[in-house]
Amino acid sequence: MFTCKLFVKTFVLVLVFVSFGAYASAAQTTLQGTDGQFIVTFDSSDNSCRLLSIKNAASQREYIVPQNRLWSLTLKHTSGETVTIDSAECDARIGISESRTKGEILWELGQTLEREMSEQLLEDGDAVGREDMEVICRAEVDQEGCYLDLEVDNTSQNWSLHDVVFPYVNLGQLGESLDDDYILTPETSGRVTPKPLLSGLQLRHWGKTVDYLPYPSAGAPFQAFAYWDKTGGIYLSPEDPHGSTKFLGASSAAGGDSVEIKVKWAVPDATIPGNDFKQPGGFRMQFFEGDWFDAAQIYKEWVFSDTVWNPDLEARSSWLDNNHLWLNARGTPDEIVDPIKEFADFMDMPLAVHWYMWHQILWDQKYPDYFPAEPGFAAAIDELQARNIKIVPYINGRVWDTGLNDFESEALPAAAKTVDQNFVSATFGTPSLFAVMCPTTPTWQNKMNEIILRLAGPEFGVDGVYLDMLAAAPPAQCFDPSHSHPLGGGSWWIEEGYRPMLQMIREELSSRNLENTILATESLSEPYVGLMGGYLTWDLTYQNMVPFFHAVYGGSAHMFGRRYGGTDQTAHRIKIAQALVFGEQLGWCFPNFIEQDAATYMKKAAHIRQELSFFVGRGQMLRPPEITGDIPLLTADWSWLNQDWPITASAIQRGAWSNEQGDAAFIFANASDREIDFLWHCDLAEYGLDKGGVSVSKLGSDRIVEFSGDKFSENIRISPREIRVYISRKADAIHAYWPLDETTGTTAQDVAYNANGTLNGGLDFANDSVTGKYDSALNFDGVDDYIALGTDPALSGTFGFSISAWIKTTASGVIIQQRDGSVGGYNGQYIVRVNSDGTAGFVVYNDGYQLNFASTQKVNDGNWHHIVAVRQGNDGYIYVDAGAPATDSGPVKSLNANLAVSIGVDIRDSVGYFDGVIDDVKIYNYPITAQRITDIYTGDIRSDLLSPKDGSAGVTKRILEWLHVPNADSYDVYLGTSYTAVANATPGSAEYQGNTNSTIYDASFILDGSTEYFWRIDPVNAGGALSGNVWDFTTDSTVEPYREVCHWTFDGTLADATGNGYDGTASKSPVYVAGVSGQALNADEITVEHVLAQQETWQEFTVTVWAKSDTHTQMPYAAVFNNNSDGNDFQIDCGEDTYRYYAYGLVDMAAISMNDWTMLTAACDADSVKLYTNGELVAQSSNRGVDFGRFAVGVNRGGTNFFDGAIDDLRIFNYARSAEEIATDYYAITGEAICLERPSMDIAGPNGKPDCKVDLHDFASFAAEWMDCGLSPQEVYAL
């Protein structure tokens, strides 16, 4: 790390590191990373020292322009005199390490300070003491980047350090062009400024231009910058793990040569002479490829590994996890309860109400005297909660009205103080003057606790409390010496103030069984993550915002709400679309928003978010999808800060989110009023979907598209105001699996990943293989036997995982561990073992334990026991024989994939050799469920690899499924009725069903009832196919392959053309006429039927029949087809002038057209019957008519009402055919294509009618009415 340590002898400013011996005065000093990529050069040719160059050695790209200063300090003398010194004013010397990866820079400051001091202080020098100062800076370059940091050690009796600006970094032009340079600044959720050197860069906070953004606050919710072009960039961050008070700066002049990045630190104890400053963390600079999203991933990795705040789910609640819509309500119960209910009825979903002015005091006055509440407040809460509406009232979490009677006696001592000991004040445009309260004081902590507990308790029973300003406003630099915190800057505002306060409140809520009560606050601010349940994002209103904060904290923090001021409906829709793809809960509008046009769009988005609840906001943000095309930009008035606020944004807002299973949801939200065509480019590897192929389905549609290879592109046409969602489904991957079933040799095969192990200590399969729980197992001698697995199966990071193994022992020892003898070989480890007391133990450790606990059951009784260890977030579980688990919990620790894995030994210390038998060891890279554990324990050892389960009987499922094998690119599928044939099959065999990139195979057209099937899945990659195991299952007697059951062509015969024997019998001699294809049956008081041997229930079916009426009106209930039975049957019949579907409820299908053939189709699935006319979906019915007694045409179920006309081509299937198949059936007869999804701009065709295409016919129709005007007077149009 680079430590600039200012050492002041009387006042010693020290930038301290390890000693490098003598300092040199070389003109240039270069530090280079161990891989040679990151190069930092310092220049001291003018006796000072400056940062000269940051270069990527591989690309020879330069990232900065030479700069004069690296740091500056502001010092204050006890006399009141203030002096500012920077590094450019001071002489310096440089020392470097032998490896040239570390360096120290020494500045001598004494003379510089003397030059800056007033003559009076110099004259009083004997009394004050000459100020001798030194500055030492340290830099450390590693494989990925560079750290810089600063420390100040002040021994002066007269000078105090007030603020430090460190570092200054001047970023220069990237590449040959300025046109493709971008910079990310930490404004709101993140703002990207294009062409900052051409157009200039100015930071904005609450609508005003500022030099610095205060952190932590709504102004700077996170502490990172990124600067890049199309070939890569540099990430920059203070990486302060404590969230200390600081100010983040970035600026450039239009046409300038650099963007200046700087960080100003508020120094603790700034008024006390001799105060020290040690920079928390280190300023990180790191190269990256990509854009802001890639920088966010670097920042996210640091956040989740090094910060003191805890980005977990502790502060969240089950109701907030499942909430998707918010309402901003203001007023008394009489004023707002009915509008709330009307809003909820319109939106048709549960929601949360953020209730302002529920108290009798006036708005923004007399805080915190919120009680008494308005009359009827408690009753209104009960009434709304009964409608599944959550109530979250407003309080202010920061201020106390100075006009209250108790201010002087109670609040003033606890208020934050300025340097001159006045209270820090705040005003909000009302007569009240407020004092900002210091959160470290018991007075303020207890006041907040008292208010929240009263609201959440039995008196009111609210679902949460919103604490205004708490996260939005920056820390006040309090200088009250009676408070228990450093004066001024530092991290105490949260670490000693709001963090213990909020933790106390949450503990109090939990002790009262109110743990589901949420705490929410205003705006985004990262050090509060893990303390608050919700964060109001109403201020996300800047141009060129990106969801950097969401990309880091999505899934750990619930963000909700935008401000819907003004009446610009386009602005409203963009905000709704943007909030959805950013992962926020929607709304926070007023109840009367339902009167606006955009309310319908909000309703649509909220319901889609509800469907995506396990992805959006609860999962992890993925890179927004890449799209190209003629995509319009929309400029609209976002109406912010009581002024016009024009924002320009893409008409297509897009985002991607994953769930815990690794599935991905891709969202495309069209906020415009026009249809838009675009091309979606998807790199599967980017989303973790590059192995095993991926099936992507359109939400709300049966359409599924399978993609293979590394990338795909999809043309998409999206309608006006449409929100389109695609979801990829991916099976969980077993990480490694050693069955230990070998009978010879010393290699233990990993059948899941090929991370094979080597047997050691004389252990071999020929001599030590014994009967296992399933097949064979290995007997370990407890002396020196073990299996070395290397690092291939090692796990990394903080994610969940599971270990499963069968053991039989009377002793103790390690079952499996990730731990080795390297330096620090225990940091990032896990261990699953049998303890000396016979219990099963589970350890996760990295510089401290996350988990270290044991089962209650003993497992050393010489019997087989199934041991499963699971980590899920902070929590750990040990299951013994699928019983109730033992549990433990601790701060999540990262696993280190550089540590080797072994079975049967603690390899680091050569102890813990297992004495007993081990079988079927598995590692999962996700937490398996209790049901999965039960499946394994009850004998289904293959259940995690396949479905149906091996050896299953009575199988009704027609889909074969298996878990993705990590190194597989695709899979060969084999299925047959002979074990030998399937075991020996090759791609040329009859049992070969093809190759698929998916982990699902649809066997619906193969499987028959009461049949034993054998199947095999061979993973395939560039190295060829790996032969898989052969599994078997037996189908239920009700199963039959999807097929066409019956086909009556009526081409001069009543025979069943399928050959299945369902021939028809006529009630009288049939007469044939010209049909839609070939001949048809003349249904002139004739019945043709096939009576089934016994009544059958078909859970799925499709019936298609052609009819041509000889009359304009038919006898009511005259039927074209019926399946008459004693149960729930149906018929396709007629009204007087319509064809209908009748199953104890009538649904019209088409108008009867005399002498025109009409194709009528009923397709029944597990939920409903879809009805098609001439291949197009026209209606559906929930009355499914699944009981078949016969197939019959020409008459109704009662045999009394005959169809007057011709009937042709009856086809019956035992499954629900898709819309595409039905359209194909129609095309096969008529040659006419069917429009399954009509383009919105399709207004005309060759015959003047829409034709499902947008072409010149549509343009001509539009042009014919161009400039037509229906306004009166028409002169208005001319304006």
- Out of 98-112, 119-133, 860-874, 1026-1040, the most confident range is 860-874
Q: What is the pLDDT of residue 305?
A: 86
Q: Summarize the confidence of residues 720-730 as an average pLDDT.
A: 80
Note the pLDDT tens digit of each residue in 846-855.
889 999 999 9
C-alpha to C-alpha distance for 1124 and 1187, rounded to whole angstroms: 8
Q: Summarize the confidence of residues 299-323 as an average pLDDT.
A: 78
Least confident of 564-573, 667-676, 823-832: 823-832
Note the pLDDT tens digit of each residue in 1049-1082.
999 999 999 999 999 999 999 999 999 999 999 9
Least confident of 750-759, 785-794, 1179-1188: 750-759
Residue 262 banded pLDDT, cuts 50, 70, 90: very high
* CATH H superfamily, domain 561-729: Golgi alpha-mannosidase II (2.60.40.1180)
Q: What is the pLDDT of residue 58?
A: 84
Asked whether the beta carbons of 1069 and 1016 are under 8 A apart, the reply is no
Q: What is the pLDDT of residue 720?
A: 96
Radius of gyration of the chain (CA): 37
- How many C-beta neighbours within 10 Å does residue 97 have? 16
Least confident of 125-139, 292-306, 1151-1165, 1210-1224: 125-139
Q: Kindly tell me if the per-residue pLDDT of 1279 is higher than 70.
A: no
How is the chain split among helix, strand and coil, in percent rounded to 5?
A: 15, 40, 45
Q: What is the pLDDT of residue 14?
A: 34
Note the pLDDT tens digit of each residue in 342-370.
999 999 888 999 999 999 999 999 999 99
Q: Summarize the confidence of residues 833-848 as an average pLDDT.
A: 94
Least confident of 170-174, 669-673, 747-751: 747-751
Residue 667 banded pLDDT, cuts 50, 70, 90: very high
Q: Kindly tell me if the per-residue pLDDT of 1274 is higher than 50.
A: no
C-alpha to C-alpha distance for 719 and 702, rounded to whole angstroms: 18
**Which CA distances in Å does 1022 have to 658, 692, 967, 971, 1158?**
28, 13, 10, 12, 52
Domain ranges of the chain: 1-167, 561-729, 734-937, 946-1035, 1044-1230
Least confident of 46-60, 378-392, 640-654: 46-60
Q: What is the pLDDT of residue 13?
A: 33
**Which CA distances in Å does 230 have to 313, 659, 710?**
36, 30, 21
C-alpha to C-alpha distance for 383 and 499, rounded to whole angstroms: 34
Note the pLDDT tens digit of each residue in 376-388.
999 999 999 999 8
- CATH topology for the 734-937 domain: Jelly Rolls (2.60.120)
C-alpha to C-alpha distance for 739 and 937, rounded to whole angstroms: 15
Q: What is the pLDDT of residue 691?
A: 40
Q: Kindly tell me if the per-residue pLDDT of 1178 is higher than 50.
A: yes
Q: Summarize the confidence of residues 1189-1215 as an average pLDDT.
A: 94
Q: What is the pLDDT of residue 615?
A: 83
Percentage of the chain lying above the pLDDT 70 cut: 89
Buried b (16+ CB within 10 A) or exposed e, 193-209: bebbbeeebbbbbeeee
Query: Rounded to 5 degrees, what are φ and ψ at 133?
Result: -130, 145
Q: Kindly tell me if the per-residue pLDDT of 705 is higher than 80.
A: no
Q: Kindly tell me if the per-residue pLDDT of 728 is higher than 50.
A: yes
Q: Which of 12, 167, 164 is nearest to 74 (CA)?
A: 164
Q: Kindly tell me if the per-residue pLDDT of 202 is higher than 90.
A: yes
Helix 442-456 vs helix 499-511: angle between axes, to the nearest 10 degrees?
30
Q: What is the pLDDT of residue 108?
A: 72
C-alpha to C-alpha distance for 7 and 20, rounded to whole angstroms: 16
Asked whether the beta carbons of 339 and 592 are under 8 A apart, the reply is yes
User: What pairs with residue 1161 in β-bridges?
Assistant: 1104, 1172
Least confident of 581-585, 761-765, 901-905, 1166-1170: 1166-1170
CA angle 1207, 1213, 1218 (to 5 degrees): 100
C-alpha to C-alpha distance for 845 and 827, rounded to whole angstroms: 6
Q: What is the pLDDT of residue 92?
A: 81
* CATH H superfamily, domain 946-1035: Immunoglobulins (2.60.40.10)
- Two structure tokens written together for 1144: 């104890």
Residue 710 banded pLDDT, cuts 50, 70, 90: low
Q: What is the pLDDT of residue 120?
A: 66
Q: What is the pLDDT of residue 1236?
A: 80
- How many C-beta neighbours within 10 Å does residue 993 have? 18
Fold match, 561-729 / 1044-1230: no
Least confident of 110-119, 235-244, 543-552: 110-119
Q: Kindly tell me if the per-residue pLDDT of 19 is higher than 60.
A: no
Query: Rounded to 5 degrees, what are φ and ψ at 1257?
Result: -60, -40
Q: What is the pLDDT of residue 302?
A: 94
Beta pairing, strands 1088-1097 & 1065-1066: antiparallel
CB neighbour class for 883 (10 Å; exposed up to 12, middle 13-18, buried from 19): middle
Least confident of 112-126, 530-544, 671-685, 1246-1260: 112-126
Beta pairing, strands 952-955 & 1030-1035: parallel
* Chain Cα centroid distance, residue 467: 26
Q: Summarize the confidence of residues 570-597 as an average pLDDT.
A: 97
Q: What is the pLDDT of residue 10?
A: 30
Residue 1136 banded pLDDT, cuts 50, 70, 90: confident
Q: Summarize the confidence of residues 584-597 as an average pLDDT.
A: 97
- CATH topology for the 1044-1230 domain: Jelly Rolls (2.60.120)
Asked whether the beta carbons of 786 and 902 are under 8 A apart, the reply is yes
- Amino acid symbol at 1022: A
> For the whole model, what pTM was predicted?
0.62
Q: What is the pLDDT of residue 447?
A: 98
Note the pLDDT tens digit of each residue in 387-412.
989 999 999 999 999 999 999 999 99
User: What pairs with residue 1104 in β-bridges?
Assistant: 1161, 1211
Residue 697 banded pLDDT, cuts 50, 70, 90: low
- Two structure tokens written together for 1: 């790390």
User: What pairs with residue 203 in β-bridges?
Assistant: 210
Q: Kindly tell me if the per-residue pLDDT of 7 is higher than 60.
A: no
Mean per-residue pLDDT of the chain? 87
Q: What is the pLDDT of residue 313?
A: 45
Map 392-461 to HEC letters.
EEEEECCEEECCCCCHHHHHHHHECECCCCCECEECCCCCCCEEEECCCCHHHHHHHHHHHHHHHCCCCC
- Tell which wins on pLDDT, 1094 or 614: 1094
Residue 707 banded pLDDT, cuts 50, 70, 90: very low
| Residue 36 CB partners (closer than 8 Å, separation 6+) | 57, 58
**Which CA distances in Å does 573 have to 118, 289, 355, 609, 666?**
61, 33, 24, 15, 19
Q: What is the pLDDT of residue 696?
A: 55
